[in-house]
Chains A and B, each alone.
Chain A
């Protein structure tokens, strides 16, 4: 199984809403990532979990809150987002050396 599953595929939320993005992998990878991608731009690293511990937080605003309940699951909790947070949010997993990452199909988020 070389699949990373993300839900939902699309999400529209108001600036006062709370929502969560979910990601699941069953490849035994011990590193999981959240990326944000705007149109025509490269994926921008947000958070990295290594062995279920947060190892990298790229100065992401606190309205984004990651969670790694176990080695297969990764969540991103969203609260009080701004319209400029509208983007494609990608989850990925890899071996801990960062080689050969597998991406989910992403959640296209629109903040209204």
Chain B
């Protein structure tokens, strides 16, 4: 089976930096990706880590440590529009599948 754990809610203020952690237990783990979903919308892809280390995409960065079964999403220079749910999702080697964590609701206040 697969399980991904992430905090249910994180709060921060505009301009701050926030880190959303994800720990996983997945047989045949292939890579970790991150998605943003606003209320009423569909998930949109943010970042993917197939290898250990940091991936940077503008204000968003993602990190993976396979030895620790752990990853995180880092959001910098927070804006009000970043208030959304953030999901980590794991892929499995040899299969086309994507299993989502329970999601972290990020609330950004002025």
Residues of A within 8 A of B (CB): 30-31, 33, 41-45, 48-50, 55-56, 90, 92, 94, 96-106
Contacts and interface: CB of A to CB of B under 8 A. Distances in A.
A48 B99 CA distance: 11
A92 B44 CA distance: 10
Contacts of B103: 41-42
A42 B96 contact: no
B99 A45 contact: yes
State the 7 A-B residue pairs at the shortest beta-carbon distance, nearest first.
A98-B91, A31-B96, A42-B100, A50-B96, A103-B42, A98-B98, A99-B48
7 contacts: A33-B96, A43-B43, A49-B96, A98-B31, A98-B98, A103-B43, A104-B42
A99 B35 CA distance: 11
B41 A45 contact: no
Interface residues of B, number: 25
A98 B91 CA distance: 5
A48 B96 contact: yes
A6 B12 CA distance: 34
Interface of B: 30-31, 33, 35, 41-45, 48, 50, 87, 89, 91-93, 95-103
A100 B45 contact: yes
